[in-house]
Amino acid sequence: MVCPKCHTKLNKDIKYCSHCGTKINSTRNTSEWSSFSSKKKEKKDIERADDQYIRACLGDNTEIMTGHFSIYAAIFGPFYLIYKKMYKQAFFISLIYIMTYIYLSEGLGILIRLVLNILLGFEINDYYYQEIKKRVGRIKKKYKDSKTIIEKCREAGKPLSLIKIIPLLIMYVALIGITKMSLSPKKQDKDHYTIYNMAYKIPSTVQETANHNNYQHFKDSKQGTCFITITGEKTNLSEEEYYTRNQENYYHWKEKEKKEVQYQENTWLSIQLESNDTTKDLYIKKEQEILYILTFDAYKKDACKKDKKEILNSIHFQKNF
């Protein structure tokens, strides 16, 4: 018998609760205790059945219930999630991976993916166990027979076959490649570029970092200390007027030399600026109402000397513009 107020266990023939003093209706409380015991037993039976279904889903992978580190998840990352049919989680992690391939430098991207894989290795078993419990819950709602539930749980727990994973892997790699190509700046013809009616060629050691209609930016990938910016804009200003008007942009630079120079058939206004150990060379030319400005930033002595000569000598202007 149990007290209806404080739920203290009582002797069968007692009239008042020894703990709180409540009057005891023996018939009613015996019924309540029986009901409570019955519900408790039913709950234990359900838990035992669920445990049986979960183990049917896990198959030989019952070590997942211990939550140990998964070396396979740490190595294969989102592909391990696909293998375990955790498609939603695989999608979000794959999305993060693709972003690191596209927007981050190679070294930083590798580091972030490595950290994510290690975290996944620690957490995957807990996530997978919770996913299995959800699968069991969905199966129990659909089927009532215990044998059928166990059979369906075994099917739900089977990993995806490698034959199906390989096409997904190919699609994943292709998606990264296509996205990088669509978002990254495009070369117009190998190393040949144009801005308005000016065409030029960059050296093989120079890498493109930005490309817009009237703005292109490069860096020398070999030395890493030469940065090149090439722009074009429609203006009524002459070369000298443009430089005079924009001198405030170079207030922390000291003008070392200003003169006209000739490269092939083209005459340029050349301005050399310096600040500490760095130099900035400007080359400005007006052609058919378009003002072209080439900027070479060298963070090491003569870092841009070779690139500057090759680019300026390669420039030619299209007449029909």
Q: Tokens 């690139």 label which residue?
A: 307
More confident residue, 222 or 147: 147
Calpha distance 62→148 (Å, rounded): 21
Q: Same domain, yes or no, for 246 and 284? A: yes
DSSP 98-161: HHHHHHS-HHHHHHHHHHHHHHHHHHHHHHHHHHHHHHHHHHHHH---HHHHHHHHHHHHSPPP
Average pLDDT over residues 51-64: 74
Note whether 212 and 278 are same-domain residues.
yes
Checking if the pLDDT of 249 tops 50, the result is yes
In total, the chain counts a number of residues equal to: 321
Percent of the chain with pLDDT over 70: 79
Among the candidates 183, 205, 230, a domain finishes at 183
Mean pLDDT across the chain = 81
Judge if 3 and 38 occupy the same domain: yes
Q: Which of 60-69, 119-128, 179-188, 261-270 has the lowest mean pLDDT?
A: 179-188
Count of the separate structural domains present in the chain: 3
- What is the per-residue pLDDT for 50? 75
46 pLDDT band (50/70/90 cuts)? very low
| pLDDT for 318 | 82
Q: Do 247 and 199 reside in the same domain of the chain?
A: yes
Q: What range defines the domain where residue 162 resides?
A: 59-183
- Looking at 17, 38, 56, the residue that finishes a domain is 56
Q: What is the pLDDT of residue 187?
A: 43
pLDDT tens track for 95-124: 888 888 777 777 888 899 899 999 998 988
Biggest distance spanned by C-alpha atoms of the chain: 118
Q: Are residues 230 and 113 in the same domain?
A: no
- With cut-offs at 50, 70 and 90, classify the pLDDT of residue 185: very low
| Digit-coded pLDDT (tens) for 4-26 | 667 677 776 676 776 676 776 65
Asked whether the predicted pLDDT for residue 179 surpasses 80, the reply is no
Same domain as 240, residue 223: yes
The answer on 269 and 237 residing in a single domain is yes
